Amino acid sequence: MKRSRNAKIIATLGPSSSTRVRIEQLFKAGADVFRLNFSHGSHEDHKDRYDAIRNVEKELNSPIGIMMDLQGPKLRLGTFRDGSALLGMGRRFRLDLDETPGDVTRAPLLHPEIFAVLKPGMTLLLDDGKMRLKVLECGEDFAETEVMVDGVLSDRKGVNVPDAVLPLSALTEKDMTDLRYGLQLGVDWVALSFVQKADDIREARKIIGKKASIVAKLEKPSAIDDLDEIMELTDAVMVARGDLGVELPPEDVPILQKRIITTARKLGKPVIVATQMLDSMVSAPAPTRAEASDVATAVYDGSDAVMLSAETAAGDYPIETVEIMDRIIQRVEGDTLYQRIRESDRTEPEETEADAISAAARQVASTIKAAAIVTYTTTGSTSYRVARERPETRILGLTPKVETARKLALVWGVVAAVSADAEDFAEMVKGARKVAKAEKIGERGDSLVVTAGVPFGTPGATNILRIATIS
């Protein structure tokens, strides 16, 4: 389905959006990719949603991307004797491996991997950063801390350690079970939580192989320190602002968002901006002006996609939320300032044949006012390189593989379509004309700028450019 915008929308499915009818409504409202959050729900729930998406895809004859989001390690306190305890600023508070329920003086923290990396002077964040503890003394099974902020601490609240890399894999036993199940279903993207270092991507890649593409969720300060290598290894990145905002000062998050987007754009990797984008619409029929501005900023910055979480998974207005996000994106992309920013921020092509052809395709399409740049691709790499150019012209990504078309649903500006495999370039151009007309991207007499790699099926071998006319 051709959209009237380039940036894509990811909608999370949940109790508010799990029926086949609701999924079709969300897609028609503007959702391009659906997220299955494996932090919640059973495998049977996710299978039902997966099957419903594929039914909608088949009925509407439009590729739809599916992303599974792994939970990752969850670090939590134990319980309290009375269910909670009031901690006063300046008081001492002990954390240890003793399972005995806690009180105002101590609490169980049954994670020896945390104590293994603690040092005096480090900060521990509890309950999404609402409470802060400063480590005074520590050992392999305890930490004596000072309470930095007054507050009530209750059972099983989350713990963050922003000052250290924890000796933990990004994949827990639950994640491994979920991952095997998701790959068996046939998900297109795997969002990897708790990424601390590049080795986390390498570990996931060994398991996933080529069965799906990886989205590295950037939510830990240590991942930012290892950003360049993580970017090289992953297929896409997500700016997970909620978790980043817990472990980093809030004033740092907007700057990091721009840095991550810029780095991803340079490498031609899709970048997603996520978390609380239209959060008030969980319970209200319209967003705040600040939220609308937040979505717009992500689009101005050049994001490939913006993501909705609770708004569509558990909110009262899932369809309206997608519709409003769609309208915001369209309005921004129609702004002359956005167009000037896109022109001035364009990344210089690398010294490769693929980038030379992609940059030329953008320039030629702009000069002759082509209806579309058509990329013929098996793996998606040709479409990725053209999308990196952020052309003014629509990108039509043709592929003989439905799996590739589904992945391209996430990529900026790409209208993905499955086309019969071509044996030669002439046959490919013929197919491009046919699909462009069928998708209503162009009509008789319009020009197409066609790019491909020869020999066909060689990833990254974009080396041909041709101008064709729709007949």
For residue 455, say if its preceding peptide bond is cis, omega within 30 degrees of 0.
yes
Closest CA to 320 of 282, 355, 348: 282
Closest CA to 133 of 155, 160, 112, 111: 160
Per-residue exposure over 370-389, b if at least 16 CB sit within 10 Å of its own CB, e if not: bbbbbbbbbbbbbbbbbbbb
Per the annotation, the verdict on 217 as an active-site residue is: yes
Q: Return the SS3 of 166.
A: coil
Task: Extract the tokens encoding 355.
Answer: 């980038």
Instruction: Report CA torsion sign: 376, 380, 381, 384.
Output: positive
**What is the Cα–Cα distance from 343 to 301, expressed in whole angstroms?**
12
**What is the Cα–Cα distance from 119 to 317, expressed in whole angstroms?**
46
**What is the Cα–Cα distance from 144 to 465, expressed in whole angstroms?**
66
Per the annotation, the verdict on 352 as an active-site residue is: no
Per the annotation, the verdict on 401 as an active-site residue is: no
Closest CA to 46 of 37, 54, 55, 58: 37
Residue of 35, 385, 388, 407 marked catalytic: 35
Q: Convert 193-212 into a string of H (helix), E (strand) and C (coil).
A: CCCCCHHHHHHHHHHHCCCC
Closest CA to 143 of 194, 106, 187, 100: 106
Helix axes 173-185, 43-60, angle to 10 degrees: 30
Task: Extract the tokens encoding 132.
Answer: 């802060």
Residue of 5, 49, 106, 217 marked catalytic: 217
Residue of 234, 275, 321, 378 marked catalytic: 275
Contact 352, 327 (CB under 8 A): no
Residue of 76, 94, 174, 205 marked catalytic: 76
Task: Count CA atoms closer than 13 A to 424's CA, side-chain side.
Answer: 1
Q: Return the SS3 of 420.
A: coil
Q: Which amino acid is at 333?
A: E
Per the annotation, the verdict on 35 as an active-site residue is: yes
How many angstroms from the chain centroid is the CA of residue 91? 41
DSSP string across 227-280: HHHHHHH-SEEEEEHHHHHHHS-GGGHHHHHHHHHHHHHHHT--EEEESSTTGG
Active site residues per annotation: 35, 76, 217, 275
